Amino acid sequence: MLRRLLLPALLASTALGVAEEAAPPTPQQRVAEKLPGFSEEAHAKAVAEAKAGADAKAAAAQDPEVVVLPDMTVQEKAIQRMTEESLYRKGAYDKELVKRELSEFDRSFLNRYTVPFLGVSPEVRAREAYLARKNAERQDRFSRLNRMTAVLDPAEAREFREVLRDAQLDNSNTTKDVARSRSARGGSGGRNSQ
């Protein structure tokens, strides 16, 4: 009998609690949530800036040769770097890589023709060689940086070595996949790809 009395009371109390929580906030509450909280430091800084601006205007009013400029913030835009790949038309960079990365003997005699679905095109092999060479250069640069770090902080150098090793393990398959995907499209394109 007690259960039968408690069950409706429990359901009614949870329904009221849900109704109270589900009530949408008023527009004033939504605006108040978005506004920053009051800060004594920020208020003091704003008052000091206003006072400095008023002092500057007063000085300009006394001396007509003084010009007071409004405060402004200049934000520098990041310069977009031009890569070597963006200078070539679509597919032309792969041809350039074939000339640069593969030997004349390889291009002319060994792998002159590629059987589709069975062989790997010279563009793909050249891109893989290029990415492998770039990766080796980066690894060499990072290992030199690691040796310099080891002089200052051996523990930091050990952590840096572990991160490099993990990155090298993760990067071993991705460079080949990237080379295949880019070469299959005929190069990555760029600004001048038409």
Residue 31: both structure tokens together = 């605006």
Q: What is the pTM of this model?
A: 0.43
Q: Give the confidence band of 83 by pLDDT, cuts at 50, 70, 90.
A: confident
The string of pLDDT tens digits covering residues 87-132 is: 788 788 888 888 888 888 887 777 777 777 777 888 888 888 898 9
> Domain ranges in the chain?
85-184
| Structural contact between residues 169 and 161, judged by C-beta atoms closer than 8 angstroms | no
Long-range contacts of 161-169 (CB under 8 A, 24+ apart): 164/139, 168/139
Over residues 23-45, the mean pLDDT reads 84
Cα distances (Å, whole numbers) of residue 34 to 28, 29, 30, 42, 46: 10, 9, 7, 17, 20
- Alpha-carbon distance of 114 to 111, in angstroms, equals 7
